[in-house]
A and B are shown apart, each in its own frame.
Chain A
Amino acid sequence: GQQLNQSPQSMFIQEGEDVSMNCTSSSIFNTWLWYKQDPGEGPVLLIALYKAGELTSNGRLTAQFGITRKDSFLNISASIPSDVGIYFCAGLNYGGSQGNLIFGKGTKLSVKP
C-alpha cells in the first residue's frame, strides 16, 4: 500500500535554530498537509498544500509541495520552546470515488531552551 517516509524521526535543537523535515513517497499525492500534535491532544493543522511546486508560509513555518508530487518539506525558522511536539505530514490521494489520507510516522521535535 501507499506509505510516507518521514524524516528525521526525532530532532534535538537549540532554541533559535532553524528546523527542516520532509516526507517522501513512491506514490503521487494530490494534497499535502502538515500537522502538529502536542501530548494528550489531537493533531492540529499547520499548513495545507494543493498544487505541485506550491510554497506556503504560516508565520515561522514554511512548507512546499514537491514538483514531482511525491514529496513535501516543512521548515521552522528560529525555533522556540513551544515548537516542541510531533509533526506529521499527510498525503491525500483521491481517485474515482475514494479519498485516501496517509500519514507519516512523525518527527518528534525537542528544543533545548
Chain B
Amino acid sequence: KAGVTQTPRYLIKTRGQQVTLSCSPISGHRSVSWYQQTPGQGLQFLFEYFSETQRNKGNFPGRFSGRQFSNSRSEMNVSTLELGDSALYLCASSLGGLRGQGANTGELFFGEGSRLTVL
C-alpha cells in the first residue's frame, strides 16, 4: 500500500512569511501526527490529529497550527516564520494513534519530510 506522502519536499522562505505543509497518510489511518527535527533538539512532537480533531499537542507556540480533513489528509501551518523554524518537518500516520494501550499505539509510519529553510 502507498506510504505517507509529504509535500513539498523542500522549500525556502524568509522571516515573517508563513508556510503550509501537506501530508497524506496511509489509506485507512485516521491519526496524523507532526514532528519537527533539528540537529540541536532532535525530534519534537508538534501535534496529533485524529478524525479531524486535534487530540494531542506538544510544547510549541501558537504560530504552529494544523488541521485534518475528512479524507485524513493533514496540513500544518507556521506563521510569522523565524530563523529557528528551519528544520525537517515530519508527518507520521498511525492506525492506533498516540492514545490508548496495546498494539498499534505509537506505531508511526513516517513520510520523508519537508525540509524548510528560513532565511
| A residues with CB within 8 A of B | 1, 30-31, 33, 35, 40-45, 48, 50, 88, 90, 92, 94, 97-106
Contacts and interface: CB of A to CB of B under 8 A. Distances in A.
A99 B56 contact: yes
A42 B112 contact: yes
Interface residues of B, number: 31
Most buried by A among B43, B58, B113: B43
A92 B98 contact: yes
A101 B113 contact: no
B110 interface: yes
A44 B110 contact: yes
Nearest to B40: A105
Contacts, number: 78
A101 B45 CA distance: 7
B29 to A, nearest CB: 13
Contact of B99 (A43, A48, A99): A99
- Interface SS, A side: strand
A99 B110 contact: no
B54 to A, nearest CB: 11
Interface string B16-54: 000000000000000001010000001111001000000
A29 to B, nearest CB: 10
B33 A104 contact: no
B2 interface: no
B101 A30 contact: yes
B87 interface: no
